[in-house]
Structure 1
Amino acid sequence: MRLSFLAPKPKESNKKEIRMDRRTILAGATALAAALLASQGVTHAQQLRKPFRVGALFNGAAVVEGKPNPVLEGLRHGLAQLGYVEGADVIFDARFAEGVLERLPELAVELVGKGVDVIVSYGGPATNAARKATTTVPIVASIVADPVAIGVAATLERPGGNITGATNNDPELPSRQFDILKSLIPRLERVAILSDSDIPGVDANGLAPIERANVTAARAAGLIPQLLKVRGPKPDLEAAFDAMYSDRAQALVALEVPAPLAERKRVAALATERRLPTMFWGGAEDSGGLLSYGTSVSANFPRLPAIIDRIFKGAKPADTPFEVVSRRQLAINLRTARELGLTIPPDLLKRADRVIE
């Protein structure tokens, strides 16, 4: 009697089991990796996404005092601190007008053409150029004294368009600056106000919002204002000071706008040479001017990376409030006071946050 057996095929069965095990292992590994990434706030889509491209638009120069623009370096550092690795997670495209503000519109169009995910604009003219170049690419603006007044935002709380950012907007600043000057120069009657010809938001009288605010505040303080506008990148400051002399100006307020900002040391030197006390914006004590008061524009810069991060994660500029940074500081330069033959009142010295001997 012959018995026949249907023997199993162990090798084939083992292959199936091995395949099944591999699938199980791979699925488990994938799930574990996803869980780990999720715990770090990183989605699978983000891992596969191409790097974010950040466009940066500047009124000024790529190199400042022989070094790469420190504001751009600060932006890079800020995003790195938030975990963005340059080249892998984020790529920067920067454009610099080098003080020739007429170049800003074409530079803004270039950035949009590069397919940037966000434009970071520094200054009112740069922000205005970016706004005209795109209504869809998110714009994060800085160094814009009054975003609402120049039409960048409907309100600071709800900008309503494709622009948000940070501002040192301070409606009380002009009045406070003139009060300080009057405490220093009791018989002050005539004050010069130095501005820039190319800032946006000019009204029918030729005044931009920051100029209007200062002229109005000067008049409210009982002073006669003389508004002078210069144009970069090589402003004719000598002509402006000649006009101040002709109009018998007793003090000068330099506005935080492109030309005076870029030429602040020259402005201070010419004013001291002509024995004209100066008031600069907050944080401008490096100018060598007599006084600086207000919030330094650089106080806004550390806030920008966090705003950009929120936009990368899906926030809409229209619903993202402008952050208002206000840290008024008074600096007094006693060296300049001595050159001008001025004695700083003790009460004013007590108010100073910084006294330069």
Structure 2
Amino acid sequence: MRPSDVPVVGMLLAGDRSYPSFGSFCDAIRELGYRDGETIQIEPRFADGHLDRLPGLAAELVQRRAKIIVAIGAVSYWAAREAAPDLPIVFAIVLDPVSVKIVQSAERPGGHTTGCTNFDPCQIGEQVRMLKQVVPGLRCLAILGDAGVPDLLPRLSKAVAEAEGLDISVHLLGREEDLETAFAAFAAAKAGGLLCLEVPRTTTYGAKIVEMAHAARLPAIFGRDHARYGPLMAYGTSLALAARRMASQVDIVLNGADAGALPVEYVRRPELIVNLNAARRMAITLPDSFLRLASEIVG
């Protein structure tokens, strides 16, 4: 295949190269028989948590004559769509693509768009109830999110917490320095537990958030892929699973299918990972009944 004939697959990510979706997509596309640099050219662009960089990075992919763009997250999707109105886009890690108007319907998305998501409307409720098992008498829940993305997840989190009879202290990050302000606010509110949402900035700053939660002795639950940072608890469906399914959709589009005719796929395989090292550091005793729920126990 001549270099000019090799299809360019652009990838747009709000996070950095360590984001699980990137490696999982590359592995999955290779398993489908593609060879990067020979039968396909993967062109990744990473915003490293700086969401204002996404439009410029998307424009770079258009200049590289990408045949298709893979967008990780809603904010990346909109940057890609603005830069490339007519290119097929395959997304992953979009909470609810119908409600945020990325697709017309899950069955027939339209608009040269399809994708895969691990969105589970029950996940936050499960996370909050797990925190309540670990923190008897929990009164105030701290919620940490991202100011740069649609507020669907914070709104859902607030509704769940209120339904569980909890007060809430919410902080949405704009930059890493906001973490100091957030944890000061959580301390002032006497928050007894922390729910860290699965959004770009909490992933980019994941290691520091976990360290600050440990230092504050604030029991926290994160999304499944934050487990690599060593939090007390991580629960949900791995974003990497959605990325692997996304690779199959890219393959179908590269072989001539209309992206907008491919149904959006939903991947839900929740796991609970518990870190006993973190529990010991924060002097927290986890109930045996809770540990029995774990898919994996670390330490």
Smaller-chain TM-score range?
Answer: over 0.9
In structure 2, relative to structure 1, the CA distance for the partners of 1:80 and 1:272 (3 Å cut) is closer
1:144 maps to amino acid: V
Unmatched segments (≥5 aa) in structure 1: 1-45, 201-207
2-side partners of 1:108 and 1:301: how far apart? Answer: 19
User: Quick check: 1:100 aligned with 2:42?
Assistant: no
| Residues 112 and 137, structure 1, Cα contact 8 Å, conserved in 2 | no
SS at match of 1:330: strand
Q: 1:260-279 to 2 correspondence within 5 Å?
A: 260-279=202-221
> Which of 214, 220, 233 in structure 1 is aligned with 2:163?
220
2-side partners of 1:84 and 1:265: how far apart? Answer: 33
Deviations 1:21-41 (A, max 9, x none): xxxxxxxxxxxxxxxxxxxxx
| Residues 280 and 293, structure 1, Cα contact 8 Å, conserved in 2 | yes
Aligned to 1:50: 5
1:53 maps to amino acid: V
2-side partners of 1:329 and 1:80: how far apart? Answer: 26
| Residues 20 and 240, structure 2, Cα contact 8 Å, conserved in 1 | no
2-side partners of 1:73 and 1:353: how far apart? Answer: 23
2-side partners of 1:117 and 1:140: how far apart? Answer: 11
Aligned to 1:37: none
User: Quick check: 1:253 aligned with 2:195?
Assistant: yes
Residue 48 of structure 1: how far off its partner (Å): 12
1:126 maps to amino acid: S
Residue 139 of structure 1: how far off its partner (Å): 0.5
User: Quick check: 1:182 aligned with 2:125?
Assistant: no
Deviations 1:288-324 (A, max 9, x none): 2111111111121211221111101222122211111
| Residues 21 and 239, structure 2, Cα contact 8 Å, conserved in 1 | no
1-side partners of 2:177 and 2:8: how far apart? Answer: 34
| Residues 294 and 329, structure 1, Cα contact 8 Å, conserved in 2 | yes
1:342 maps to amino acid: I
Aligned to 2:102: 152
User: Quick check: 1:230 aligned with 2:173?
Assistant: yes
1-side partners of 2:231 and 2:16: how far apart? Answer: 23
2-side partners of 1:76 and 1:279: how far apart? Answer: 28
Q: 1:45-194 to 2 correspondence within 5 Å?
A: 50-62=5-17, 64=18, 71-194=21-144
Aligned to 1:205: none
Deviations 1:166-203 (A, max 9, x none): 11010011111111111222211110100011013xxx
- Structure ranking higher on relative contact order (CA contacts 8 Å, 6+ apart): 2
| Residues 237 and 269, structure 2, Cα contact 8 Å, conserved in 1 | yes
Range 161-170 or range 282-291, more displaced = 282-291
| Residues 58 and 121, structure 1, Cα contact 8 Å, conserved in 2 | yes
2-side partners of 1:326 and 1:197: how far apart? Answer: 26
| Residues 282 and 292, structure 1, Cα contact 8 Å, conserved in 2 | yes
In structure 2, relative to structure 1, the CA distance for the partners of 1:81 and 1:243 (3 Å cut) is same
SS at match of 1:148: coil
1-side partners of 2:219 and 2:80: how far apart? Answer: 36
2-side partners of 1:279 and 1:332: how far apart? Answer: 9
1-side partners of 2:292 and 2:26: how far apart? Answer: 38
Residue 73 of structure 1: how far off its partner (Å): 4.7
- The share of aligned pairs that are identical, in percent, is 34
User: Quick check: 1:331 aligned with 2:237?
Assistant: no
Residue 261 of structure 1: how far off its partner (Å): 0.9
> Which of 225, 244, 262 in structure 2 is aligned with 1:283?
225
Residue 80 of structure 1: how far off its partner (Å): 2.9
SS at match of 1:127: helix
User: Quick check: 1:355 aligned with 2:297?
Assistant: yes
Unmatched segments (≥5 aa) in structure 2: none
1-side partners of 2:22 and 2:116: how far apart? Answer: 16
2:43 maps to amino acid: D
| Residues 272 and 296, structure 2, Cα contact 8 Å, conserved in 1 | yes
Task: List structure 1 segments (4+ residues) > 6 angstroms apart after TM superposition.
Answer: 46-49
1:215 maps to amino acid: K
CA RMSD of aligned residues (A): 2.0
